Structure 1
Amino acid sequence: MRILSRSKVRLNVKVGDKNEAIRLAGQLLVNDGHVPPEYVDKMIERDSVSSTYLGNGVAMPHGTNESKSLIKSTGMSVLTVPGGVDFGGQTANLIIGLAAVGSEHMEILSNVAVLVSDDDEMGRILEAGSAEELLSIFEQGMNG
């Protein structure tokens, strides 16, 4: 099972608030069997304790430490939100849902952070015309 796949990508979504964005990102992880539905509540809980906004228009919601035992396999979901969504006073245009087994989240986090800190790459991600195009940007950026 791949960490990121077409079924976990949604382009140009409109969300009312960050909780709706987190629920959508989390539901994609549930749909692909990475986590049970209750993990999504833990993603919202985690963001309410400490914002999951990373900077440069990116938020990476994930579950609480206590919810790690719920994770069946490492997975990532990606939403592009052209209109942006407020994450604790910051606007996020890219939402990356994450469920990672063990310490895998640190490696994924650092790879993603490098990718999205590059303004050109971030522009390419937000302007991706298809899930396939977005996937290839992430694959190149995370394995490059």
Structure 2
Amino acid sequence: MKTNAIILTFLGLLAPTVFSSPAEVDVAASCGSLGVMNVNTSDLPAGVDPNNIRTCADHPVGSAHEVLEKRDCEYGAPVGCSGGYCWKQCGDEGSGQWCWTANNGGYGDWIKCSTSSQCNTNMACGIGDCSACGCSC
């Protein structure tokens, strides 16, 4: 009987730890200077999954790039891999404009790569409230 009492006491002490909900993540703090992705899900185009929208708005490489220098135009290739992320040319042909690519119609996670062969022109440009998003140079 003493053994049962000890086990029940031990379980009683563990219960708040085991059954409590996980601590909420501070999204703004986790995104930092990348900013939080704010999207009105009722305005999403067809085919975009509202459950797969990225948490942070800005591109990890793009935001650092803009601080250092203006985005250079790219005339050499229609797609590429830079800093571990895919990009593609966009806009008027020959303009050199390009964008970072993202899954889920441009609203999802940034598309990662290790070589340019993993990137293609069918990938969507990143969309959202993002200073590095969009087609420009």
Please say whether Structure 1 and Structure 2 have the same fold, judged by a TM-score greater than 0.5. no
TM-score normalised by length of structure 2: 0.25
More strand by share: 1
Q: Could you say which structure has the larger radius of gyration?
A: 2
Considering Cα pairs closer than 8 Å and 6+ residues apart, tell me whether 1 or 2 has the greater RCO.
1
More helix by share: 1
TM-score normalised by length of structure 1: 0.24
